[in-house]
Amino acid sequence: MKSIAPFSAPGRFWRGNLHTHSDLSDGALPLDEVVNRYKAVGYDFVLISEHFIDHFDWPIADTRHLRGNTFTTILGAELHAPVTSAGELWHIVAAGLPLDFPAAKKGETGPEIAKRAIDAGAFLAIAHPSWSRYTIEDGRALSFAHAVEIYNHGCAIENDLGEGFYLLDQMLNEGHRLTAIATDDAHFKTPDHFGGWVHVKAESLDPDALLAALKAGHHYSSQGPLINDIRMNGKLIEIDTSPVDSITVVCGTSRTCITNGRAITSASFDLSSLDKGWLLEKKSPWFRVTAIDNAGKRAWSNPIWFE
């Protein structure tokens, strides 16, 4: 059995949040205080993703003065443009934008500003699909993005619309190779903070190294549990976690593999069982791992493609 990425990648895991707000846009707290709160509770990096829209004066927060040897920041924003298939405003998290990234042009669509962000070097994530009521048509319009928010803590806490895997899984089934991120989307007006994050495997805490690792898919997402390793040999898989009560493998069909217990830390499966069932000709070329602890908190691997 050999470890697969990101666990096989060099470096160590760094914990970070890629979506949160200060009073530079619609958050409650000053910029420096928001960053220092993440630092104080053990995060390694944060992106202050202010709303990049015309009625806020300072859309890209300059947090470079808050970087140090043990904590860093990524520059970026939450991009907006009209309108999705449901008539909603586009919400797109862009990590790694230059400070002089131009504002949305008149008539510019969400996919157009998203493409500009990628051309500028950003890691792009489709934000809170459930809250934004994104359809598969909206997902297809942003199929060139890097990731989907599989979990948004603020949307979960405030209105039970935090899940994003419904859109991610549909896009995977169409062959779009996106990864997953969990975020806070914190505004510090409710208990919307420190509830979802990414563990990024990189050789250093340098922002460019973190961005390169995110683009390479060298990360997994969590609300608390840890995924320590995933090893594969053909369709045999071994998974190591922190103590959880459920380790499951899901794919693009209704087939699953699951191990339940009390404070279990490992599971092994023959994933050829995912090809068996009521519809033998329908097989999934991808799967992902979820670990669930006794409080219902989860960790999610990125999608893994069998080839």
Task: Name the pLDDT band for 283 (thresholds 50, 70, 90).
Answer: confident
The alpha helices in the chain, defined as continuous H runs, are: 31-40, 110-119, 129-132, 136-141, 153-159, 165-173, 207-216
Q: What is the pLDDT of residue 281?
A: 60
Residue 307 confidence (pLDDT): 83
Average of pLDDT values for 263-268? 98
Q: How far apart are CA 20 and CA 154, in angstroms?
A: 9
User: What percent of the chain has pLDDT above 70?
Assistant: 96
pLDDT above 90: residue 278: no
pLDDT tens digits, 131-146 = 999 999 999 999 999 9
Q: What is the pLDDT of residue 105?
A: 81
| Residues 91, 86: Cα–Cα separation, whole Å | 13
Distance CA 240, CA 164 (A): 24
Q: What is the pLDDT of residue 56?
A: 57
Residue 86's pLDDT band (cuts 50, 70, 90): confident
Alpha carbons 44 and 38: distance in angstroms, whole number: 8
pLDDT for 185 equals: 97
Given this model, what pLDDT does residue 57 score? 56
Query: pLDDT tens digits for 238-253?
Result: 999 999 999 999 999 9
Q: Pairing state of beta strands 286-292 and 236-251?
A: antiparallel
Band of the pLDDT at 259, cuts 50, 70, 90?
A: very high
Q: Is the pLDDT of residue 58 over 70?
A: no
- Please give the average per-residue pLDDT across 183-209, as a whole number: 98
Inform me whether the pLDDT recorded for 279 exceeds 80: no
185: nearest Cα among 204, 158, 211: 158
Asked if residue 55 has pLDDT above 70, the reply is: no
Report the alpha-carbon distance of residue 305 to residue 302 in Å, rounded: 10
CA atoms within 13 A on the CB side of 51: 18
Quick one: pLDDT band at residue 103, thresholds 50, 70, 90? confident
**Length of the chain as a residue count:** 307
Query: Rounded CA gap, 175 and 234, in Å?
Result: 21
Q: How far is residue 302's CA from residue 35's CA, in Å, rounded to a whole number?
A: 27
Confidence band for 178, pLDDT divided at 50, 70 and 90: very high
pLDDT at 233 over 80: yes
Mean pLDDT, the chain, as a whole number? 95
pLDDT reading at 59 higher than 80: no
Under the banding of pLDDT at 50, 70 and 90, the label for residue 280 is low
Cβ atoms 241, 228 nearer than 8 A:
yes
Report, as an integer, the average pLDDT of 92-108: 91
Secondary structure (3-state) at 300: strand
Provide the β-strand partners of residue 124.
94
